[in-house]
Each structure stands twice: as C-alpha cells, then as structure tokens.
Copies of this chain bind each other. A is one copy, B any other.
Amino acid sequence: MKTISIIGLGLIGGSLGMRLYPHHHILGHDLMKRSMEEAVERKAIHEALSFNDAVAKADLVILAAPLSKIPELVERAAPFLKPGAVLTDVGSTKSKICAAMRTHLKPGQFVGGHPMAGTEHRGIKNAQIDLFDEKTFALTPESPEEEEAAKKVKELFKAIPLTWVSLSADEHDLTVAYTSHLPYLMSVLIARASMGATKNLPHLREMMGSGFKDTTRLAGQNPTLGRDLCLSNNQNLQTAIAQLRYSLSQVEWLLENESRSALELLLEETAGWRTVLFEE
C-alpha cells in the first residue's frame, strides 16, 4: 500500500484512480473543484489536496493533465517531490515531456508513460474502472535510473492486467504517429471531403453506412486535444503523411492507368498486412 497522487482528474486520471483505489491510498488534484468532488464521489481518489500537497505526500505522482500542460507541471512539481518518489505521466507524445523531466528532475525520479487507451468522451463523469485492463502501457526509460523508476511504476500498477512496452521517447512518438495520429488526421480528411461535396449531393447523408461511420469515428474527438496531439508530434506526423502521400500517388497512378492486376495486388498486400496485425 503506497500513496499515489493523480494530477488532473479527467477521463484518464479518473479511470486510473478508480482502478488503483482498492490497492493504494489515492490523492488527487484538479484545477476544477467540481472534478475533485466527483472524483471523491466516484471513488477515484480518497482525498483531494492542493497541487503542492498532493505532490509532496506521494510515493508516485501521475501527471494526467492535458498534454500541452504537462511540461510546466513537471517543472512545478520538481521542488516538492519527496526523496525516493517517482513522477510519471500519461501524455500521448513523449519527447517534449521527457525532455522537461530530464531538465527539472534528478535521474531516478521520473519515467515517461503512456497508456494506449481512451474514448471519445472526456471528464471524470466518463471514467471507467476497466479502461486500461488488457491494454498496452508504454514506458520510455532511457537510462538505468529511468529503468529503476519504470520498475517502481510497474510494481504499483501490478493489480492492473497490462501489456508493458518499453521504448525510447523518440521511437514512441514516431510509432504513435503511424498508429494514432495519422489515422486521426485521415479520419478528419475523409469526413472533410464529404463536407465539401455535400452541396451538390443531397442524398449524401442517407448513403453513409457503417464503413463511413467507422473510418470517421476519430474525427469526432475533441478538437483541442486533436490539435495538441498533432502539434506535439508535428515532425513525425509530417513523416507519416509523406509516407501516405507516396502510396496515394501510387494508387492514383494505378487508377489513371486502370491497372487492374497491380491495383488488386496492392489491395491484397495491404489486406494481408492488416490480417497479420490483428491475428493473435
């Protein structure tokens, strides 16, 4: 039984708190008083405290605030962290955040983290106790001291059935550009193309089936979060877009030349790749 502080009691922070509540003493802080009250009501935290007190009393501090706020919270938390305590976060891009950790904290005091789970909904009211069960949790240790910090995080989270992945912050960010940020942006562009066409196509809405619905689901997520994701991983996202543009040009060439067999081969290769990915 340790003391864990969660800074930012939204969907992610709240869900994590609910899951760890029976196993540890959970402290919490949020800018919104109402969120702290609801976190206590929903048994996501045992106690709401000020930012400084929450940090000072914890064996593990988890920064679960919006992505763009995390670097400054690292700096703010640094002076209050008690000896032997570890700070981590749940931000979905890691390079900038880990750079801030390395600037403001001592080796062994931190490791970057990112649980691969979420929904299109926000806030403590949408928190789910099983949001992380059977999901992947990435940690980004890049030195023996960060490896030690990672071990402490895993130990405190051991009640949750998680698949742990360990990789560098840069590799993490390039990977999620392909698995997460490019799909988001393309989802936006698929929805947007139809937006441009709607004036001349009065039956567009009635003709949208489950395929359109699935491919544009991500486009419905919170735009502020979407913007922060894209801009915090800007270079990698541009790399992934360039990769997609290359295949797009290839496909356009095949369409223009009506290359039946080459087009089928490309589609077959891709369908095969996807099958491999999602086979157990």
| A residues adjacent to B (C-beta < 8 A) | 116-118, 135-136, 138, 163, 165, 167, 171-172, 174-176, 178-180, 182-197, 200-209, 211-224, 226-227, 230-231, 234, 237-238, 240-241, 243-248, 251-252, 255-256, 258, 260, 263-264, 266-271, 273-275, 277-278
Contacts and interface: CB of A to CB of B under 8 A. Distances in A.
Nearest to A276: B205
A277 B208 contact: yes
Contacts of A207: 116, 136, 138, 165, 172, 175-176, 179-180
13 contacts: A136-B207, A165-B203, A171-B203, A172-B203, A174-B200, A183-B215, A184-B211, A189-B251, A192-B244, A196-B247, A205-B277, A219-B271, A238-B256
Contacts of A179: 194, 204, 207-209, 211-212
Contacts of A186: 186, 189-190, 215
Contacts of A189: 186, 244, 247-248, 251
A244 B193 contact: yes
Contacts of A274: 191, 216, 219-220
A191 to B, nearest CB: 5
Question: Interface SS of chain A: helix, strand, loop or mixed?
Answer: helix
Contacts of A234: 255, 258
Contact of A237 (B214, B240, B255, B260): B255
Contacts of A163: 206
B271 A221 contact: yes
B219 A231 contact: no
A268 B204 CA distance: 21
Contacts of A213: 278
A122 to B, nearest CB: 13
Contact of A251 (B176, B185, B220): B185
A206 to B, nearest CB: 5
Nearest to A205: B277
